[in-house]
Chains A and B, each alone.
Chain A
């Protein structure tokens, strides 16, 4: 659907994107993960056609888009930039009406969604009096005005409190349930992307270091699983047995024995532990989380 082929972007002496290759499939939720300044926003702007790559190609539906193609593409996209102050002298509703006209649509089409994001009372108030969270909600509302097929969200929960952030993901889930929508979501808050994305692309220093589902990524990176055993006391016999099975990084915390297990040894470890079940109360093996994947990528 959207493909970046060997895309480079240079600003003066700074290489913002370095040979980026990425394929975004129709209907998927892609998480773009990277530290601040990694090139996430630049990549999103190139996907949107509002920044031109220094070299490389952007393909939309398999072809290099013409001016008309870009226009059609943009008509199907909802974009939520990281930071928008909007116009202090307009009310929330006036702002949305303005952007609806610019997008060639009418606010009535999405009024229920808009009212879910911002109450009528808030919509009647001047944006100048909005909190950062309210502005961010307004930002989301404007992105949804054209009932987009593709939603590009740049750090969407930045500035939202945990309640606002949770509500944001509820709304996103509702949209995904209502229609097939492609979502490209950039964030540096790793935990919030973990269970909300189909695929993750990790970007560092302007290049994609890894892309795939979380499972694919930790397998590819050969990251160990996390073993957590509920145990009463330190058990050196059990430790010795685990070490014999290739388990490493053994430690104790809050009544748990915590260790790392190579994924290929998972069944052997579980089977051995079942033989020693009188030595512990419970056992859990967890897959690595996004944070571990992120830091495992170099």
Chain B
């Protein structure tokens, strides 16, 4: 399952991100970002100071939905293009290394880099928030961190598929931007448009299905389920979600969002390159 070659690739990916201080910069970014939002989040209402944790999570969620996907997409988007441009892809392919080991090695290395930076960034700021706000909402905050890591891993997995499908750097960049725009903005505009054109007649089951087709919406839903105010913040106050829309289901769908692009990447990569 875990071969030395796979571990070597994973180790190199993680070491690159640590050496280049990518992990530290992103972690610091997340930490500063969280503290600023927690302290100045109410500034528009003329109030500053640490707010309730639920409110902070709600604000953070709105921003993380934009930030983490682009971060993860750019992280994994170049896995093939970069190796190809460097000439090292042929070295990997000509060695007794399976496609699975190559993809898994790359994935685990970047997975640890991304989750480590997310965990460290939100973790450090979380400690500060708990000292100010108490441990009452610790559970919600821990869930927020886990959900943020899952969101990152989903988009990392999607980035692998992009990398395999469009192995030229310029195409990867263009598709990455489009995919990010699609999931963070265009998709929701489409759903809202559908609700408006059907005058809200559309069933909640269909709306729930549509939300599960977008990992960003799954993330939003998961966070707002944990703080109990999701329908208002989602702008879907009039929609009552079916009883099966529970975190377990959403995590299950998230898992599929991680696995399916990776499996597709594996088969496409194998079909294109490997013997």
A residues sitting closer than 8 Å to B (CB atoms) are: 45, 48-52, 65, 67, 70-72, 74-75, 77, 79, 81, 83-87, 89-90, 98-99, 101-104, 142, 152
B88/A101 in contact, CB under 8 A: no
A50/B273 in contact, CB under 8 A: yes
B87/A83 in contact, CB under 8 A: yes
B90/A98 in contact, CB under 8 A: no
Bound complex: CA A26 to CA B273 (Å) = 26
A89/B16 in contact, CB under 8 A: yes
Residues on B with C-beta less than 8 A from A101 are: 4-5, 7-8
B4/A84 in contact, CB under 8 A: no
B97/A77 in contact, CB under 8 A: no
B275/A84 in contact, CB under 8 A: no
Residues on B with C-beta less than 8 A from A48 are: 90, 93-94
CB within 8 Å of A: which B54-100 residues = 85-88, 90-98
Candidates A45, A52, A102, A152; contact of B5 at CB < 8 Å: A102
Candidates A49, A65, A87, A152; contact of B88 at CB < 8 Å: A87
Bound complex: CA A83 to CA B91 (Å) = 11
The proximity string for B residues 3-14 relative to A, scoring 1 for CB distances below 8 Å and 0 otherwise, is 011011100100
Nearest CB in chain A: distance from B274 CB, A: 7
B274/A102 in contact, CB under 8 A: no
Candidates B9, B16, B275; contact of A70 at CB < 8 Å: B275
Is B170 part of the binding interface, using a Cβ–Cβ cutoff of 8 Å?
Answer: no
Nearest CB in chain A: distance from B262 CB, A: 20
Candidates B12, B92, B275; contact of A67 at CB < 8 Å: B275
Nearest CB in chain A: distance from B181 CB, A: 30
User: Could you show 15 A-B contacts with beta carbons less than 8 Å apart?
Assistant: A45-B90, A48-B93, A49-B93, A50-B94, A71-B96, A75-B96, A79-B94, A81-B90, A84-B87, A86-B87, A101-B5, A102-B9, A102-B92, A102-B95, A103-B95
CB within 8 Å of A: which B1-42 residues = 4-5, 7-9, 12, 16, 19-20
Bound complex: CA A149 to CA B192 (Å) = 63
Bound complex: CA A49 to CA B90 (Å) = 10
Residues on B with C-beta less than 8 A from A52 are: 275
In the complex, what residue of chain A is closest to B12 when comparing beta carbons?
Answer: A98
Known contacts A67-B275, A71-B98, A89-B19; decide if A50 and B93 are in contact (CB<8 Å).
yes
B275/A86 in contact, CB under 8 A: no
